[in-house]
Amino acid sequence: MTSSTAAATNTQGRSGATRPGRPHGQWRVDGTAPLNANEAWKQEDGGLNVRERIEQVYSKRGFDSIEKTDLHGRFRWWGLYTQRRPGIDGGKTATLEPHELEDKYFMLRVRIDGGSLTTHQLRVIGEISTDFGRGTADLTDRQNIQLHWIRVEDVPEIWRRLEDAGLSTTEACGDVPRVILGSPVAGIAADEIIDPTPAIEELAKRFIGDPELANLPRKFKTAITGHPSQDVVHEINDVAFVGMVHPELGPGYDLWVGGALSVTPRLAERLGAFVQPHQVADVWVGITKIFRDYGYRRLRTKARLKFLLADWGTDRFRDVLEEEYLGYRLTDGPPAAKPSTPGDHVGIHRQKDGRYFIGVSPVVGRVSGATLTSLAALLEDHGSGRLRTTPHQKLVLLDVPEHQLDSLVDGLEALGLTPKPSVFRRSSIACTGIEFCKLAIVETKITAATAVAELETRLADLAESGVLPERLSLHVNGCPNSCARIQTADIGLKGQLLPDGDGGQSPGFQVHLGGGLASLDREEAGLGRTVRGLKVTADDLPEYVERLVRRFVADRHLSETFAEWTHRADEGALL
């Protein structure tokens, strides 16, 4: 596609109704001439091209040799972000330039499509963490594993080890198709509707690292599940395929588009189209190319698919997909049924082959290299050779023989990986926070872990009496960008600095209440409620949550969920 500034005024056509005024940077409407510096450097040299410079130049000459658009841009295409320099408080996050905030170390994101790992691969990641990352390892809520303290000098060796094990960091970050979320129980669950593994593998093999799809307006997130729990948070992905059975065509997928959170949350919408298994790749590529060709590129704050869908609507979006990109019509289809089981897969469950899978809960996704290597050995000693990460910062361990269950559970507990977590340990997640992230304002991992531990003690009486809800999600985020999905949690916490009463500031959070995605307890997704003035300091967080939960237990109607109660309760009950 050639650049054309004249095309900015040519806004006629099936997908670009006449639109006077300033162009939005839509390639197929306005031409491909870049309208900002970010788009300019992406066209000058694609993000995938930086790998050779990392291997041949930067790893040999060190951090200070890295060209700035590579450092703050193209490195992301290979899963690398500079991490935050220690000692910079949250009040400086919005006032300092990136080079003033960053350290000479990197976060490295290992891409794990579908969350699928062998124990050998897990051991390799654990060893890399120990050898190069000071033992750091975090499970993300997008099924990846993140390491920290990585030096550019070590990246080629890390890539060699990962790729020898069948792993990579390709397009783990950047304006590209990010990791493909997949059901953690794909291919093994007894109640599975359709196994999404072939679709995930095809997309990853054919299209990840494809230069034709490596310059999108911004990140592009995909989710595919064939499990009735709908376990891939499909409502907050750019494109999602949700397993269902069509009354005439049999198993396939309900198609959703345009979900994303951040500072302008928008839930995905159904296109009303049924996607047969052999059509998944065509449909995915078509939607990815719609985003590439029609997505808004002038302002990065508007450069997500959700904004295009909001302007077009689902009917027009589907027409463009079918007429311009597929060349055929998709069959209409009914919505998938409401989820029938919990989607975190925590606990011990029988597989369809008679063996068992075990869902375990590390505290807010924080593990370590030593934990990962120990887990790999433990699983192998108990007859298992594979596992899955989940979109809830959990692990699902597969193929465990029945006679090995008790011994394996004992070993898991010793590693801090319990299949029988408390309510809060089970349902809490936290983003990276100020410890490593340059965008963060407050600390998150320790804050969340401390709150979980305190709440287990503070609310022990309610747990023992059986009146606590089985699931109650607490999501802790270090800034407004919602990597921890604060708007779709029962209790979502957005990091900010609060007045301390002495002229200074304290780390704290704005509170969102009653959000959630479709689940066993909820018919459909909805965003949380915010109450004016409802903010809590990090130190007061456990006390606030305890007070809130006790009020819920005292006030709720019969069978009322926490989310339902928070949306009907008077503001005074929530403060």
Q: Among positive and negative, which fits the CA dihedral 31, 35, 40, 42?
A: negative
Chain centroid to Cα 327, Å, comes to: 32
pLDDT tens-digit readout, 98-143? 889 999 999 999 999 999 999 999 999 999 999 999 999 999 999 9
Q: Contact at 8 Å (CB) between 487 and 515?
A: yes
Chain centroid to Cα 354, Å, comes to: 31
Q: How confident is the model at residue 59 (pLDDT cuts 50, 70, 90)?
A: very high
What would the two tokens of residue 487 be?
């708007």
What would the two tokens of residue 322 be?
């079918």
Average pLDDT of the residues in 532-561: 96
pLDDT confidence of residue 20: 57
148 phi and psi, to 5 degrees? -130, 175
Q: How confident is the model at residue 21 (pLDDT cuts 50, 70, 90)?
A: confident
Distance CA 341, CA 360 (A): 16
pLDDT confidence of residue 98: 87
User: Is the confidence at residue 12, as pLDDT, over 90?
Assistant: no
Distance CA 102, CA 122 (A): 29
pLDDT confidence of residue 5: 32
Cβ atoms within 10 Å, residue 399: 17
* Distance in angstroms between the alpha carbons of the first and the last residue of the chain: 55
User: Is the confidence at residue 19, as pLDDT, over 60?
Assistant: no
Cβ atoms within 10 Å, residue 348: 17
Chain centroid to Cα 263, Å, comes to: 15
Q: Contact at 8 Å (CB) between 495 and 440?
A: yes
Contacts 24+ apart (CB under 8 A), 35-43: 35/297, 35/298, 36/297, 36/298, 36/299, 36/300, 38/73, 38/300, 39/297, 41/69, 41/73, 41/74, 42/73, 42/175, 42/215, 43/215
User: Is the confidence at residue 344, as pLDDT, over 60?
Assistant: yes
Distance CA 105, CA 134 (A): 11
What would the two tokens of residue 182 be?
């997949």
pLDDT tens-digit readout, 179-193? 999 999 999 999 999
What would the two tokens of residue 497 be?
């600095």
Q: Contact at 8 Å (CB) between 118 and 389?
A: no
The secondary structure of residue 337, as a DSSP letter, is: P
Average pLDDT of the residues in 423-444: 98
Average pLDDT value for the chain: 95
Q: Contact at 8 Å (CB) between 237 and 223?
A: yes
Distance CA 230, CA 245 (A): 14
Distance CA 239, CA 10 (A): 29
Residue 572's alpha-carbon distances to 418, 532, 566, in angstroms, are: 37, 11, 11
User: Is the confidence at residue 2, as pLDDT, over 50?
Assistant: no
Distance CA 192, CA 183 (A): 10
User: Is the confidence at residue 34, as pLDDT, over 50?
Assistant: yes
Q: How confident is the model at residue 3 (pLDDT cuts 50, 70, 90)?
A: very low
Give the residue carrying structure tokens 């040519």.
10
- Report helix angle 541-555 to 445-458, nearest 10: 50
Chain centroid to Cα 220, Å, comes to: 11
User: Is the confidence at residue 17, as pLDDT, over 90?
Assistant: no
Q: Which of 334, 338, 320, 339 is nearest to 272 (CA)?
A: 334
What would the two tokens of residue 197 be?
């593994």
pLDDT tens-digit readout, 372-399? 999 999 999 999 999 999 999 999 999 9
Domains for the chain: give ranges and CATH numbers.
Answer: 426-573 (3.30.413.10)
Residue 279's alpha-carbon distances to 274, 282, 315, in angstroms, are: 10, 5, 19
User: Is the confidence at residue 478, as pLDDT, over 80?
Assistant: yes
| CB-count exposure of residue 553 (10 Å: 0-12, 13-18, 19+) | middle
